Amino acid sequence: MRCITQFAQFTKWLGVISSISVLTVGAVEARDWSVIKDSGKMVVATEGAFYPFNFFEGPKLTGFEVELAEAVVKQLGLTLEWRVVSFDAQLASIRQDRFDFAIASHGYTEDRAKAVDFANPHYCTGGQIAAQKDGPLTIAALKDKTVGVQIGTSYMDNAKKIPGLKELKTYKADPEAFSALKAKKTDAWISDKWLIKSTLEKNADSGVVAGEQVFVEKVSMILRKNNKELMDQLNRGLAEVIKNGTYQALSQKYFKTDIGCRS
């Protein structure tokens, strides 16, 4: 009897050990389009703190990019499973294949393109200054001022190029950079122009206004390098939701205008 129990224990452990190794193998295995298609499900990462592109409404992940990705994946005949990953961890974790693609407002840069591939852009935008009404609202006015940005973003990279800043403060997520500006811990904030517009509409009493645009960028979904079939499928899905009007409906819903790139 005892022997049987021990054997049962042993096989149970074997089961645990082998499922651990399956999990580990699964985590590092690159998912090609055929594997994704067979699984019926696309695993997609976003951040959930970039209003109104990807954010939480109570417990629910939503926003322009969340709904857009859901439409693209549905167009491809698959279901979607979300992963919430902090923005500054997304480039590294995609290379470890923890998800099939990320949609979190990544602007194209040559540097990022060394690590990941970019799909066709799903919106065109720019980095913009925001400050209190009497604060620094132009690049020139930022001399000797403290600027807040989200860490790992193109706003951070571009703010570093502005000559004569007193200090560049980085925040884990964009709402913290906005809060720091409201609390006057910084003199200005640089973020996405659509995000600033929407955030200021929602916080009309903040005293913060939008200023000069600092740079322009094209925003895309990012995926693991050299995954051509998946790239083609994502671009096909995106083109389809643009063609069938879903894209424009979402853009109107969130921005009351078409934020697509005019090529």
Which residues in 217-246 contact ligand ARG (CB under 6 A)?
A: 219
When asked if residue 87 is in the footprint of ligand ARG (CB under 6 A), the reply is: yes
Q: Which two tokens stand for residue 173?
A: 């997520």
Of 154 and 199, nearer to ligand ARG (C-beta) is 154
Check binding of 107 to ligand ARG (CB under 6 A).
yes
Nearer to ligand ARG, 50 or 82 (CB): 50
Q: Give me the least distance between CB of 81 and ligand ARG, in Å please.
A: 18
> Can you tell me the distance from the alpha carbon of 191 to that of 171, in angstroms, rounded to the nearest whole number?
12
Are 96 and 88 in contact, with CB atoms under 8 Å apart?
no
DSSP character at residue 173: S
What residues contact residue 203 under an 8 Å CB cut-off, 6+ apart?
178, 182
Q: Which stretch binds ligand ARG (CB under 6 A): 31-39, 74-82, 103-111, 237-245?
A: 103-111
Q: Residue 50 or residue 247: which is nearer to ligand ARG going by CB?
A: 50
- H/E segment holding residue 140: none
Binding of ligand ARG at residue 154 (CB under 6 A)? Answer: yes
Residue from 36, 45, 52, 54 in contact with ligand ARG (CB under 6 A): 54
Alpha carbon separation from 69 to 72, 99, 159, 161 (Å, rounded): 5, 13, 30, 33
* Shortest reach from residue 208's CB to ligand ARG, in Å: 18
What is the distance between the alpha carbons of residues 209 and 201, in angstroms, rounded to a whole number? Answer: 10
Find the shortest distance in angstroms from Cβ 115 to ligand ARG: 13
Question: 32 or 157: whose CB is closer to ligand ARG?
Answer: 157
Whole-angstrom distance, CA of residue 130 vs CA of residue 187 = 9
Contacts of 260 (CB under 8 A, 6+ apart): 122, 123, 124, 242, 247, 248, 251
Judged by CB under 6 A, the residue of 36, 42, 44, 47 near ligand ARG is 47
Contacting ligand ARG (CB under 6 A), which of 73, 100, 105, 186? 105
Q: How far apart are CA 238 and CA 233, in angstroms?
A: 9
Of the pair 53, 247, the CB lying nearest ligand ARG is at 53
With residues binned 3-state (H G I as helix, E B as strand, rest as coil), the percentages for the chain, rounded to 5, are 45, 30, 30
Q: Is 153 in the site for ligand ARG (CB under 6 A)?
A: yes
| Among 31, 63, 78, 106, interactor with ligand ARG by CB under 6 A | 106
Least distance in angstroms from the C-beta of 37 to ligand ARG: 27
Residues contributing to the site for ligand ARG (CB under 6 A): 47, 50, 54, 87, 104-107, 150, 153-154, 174, 192, 219
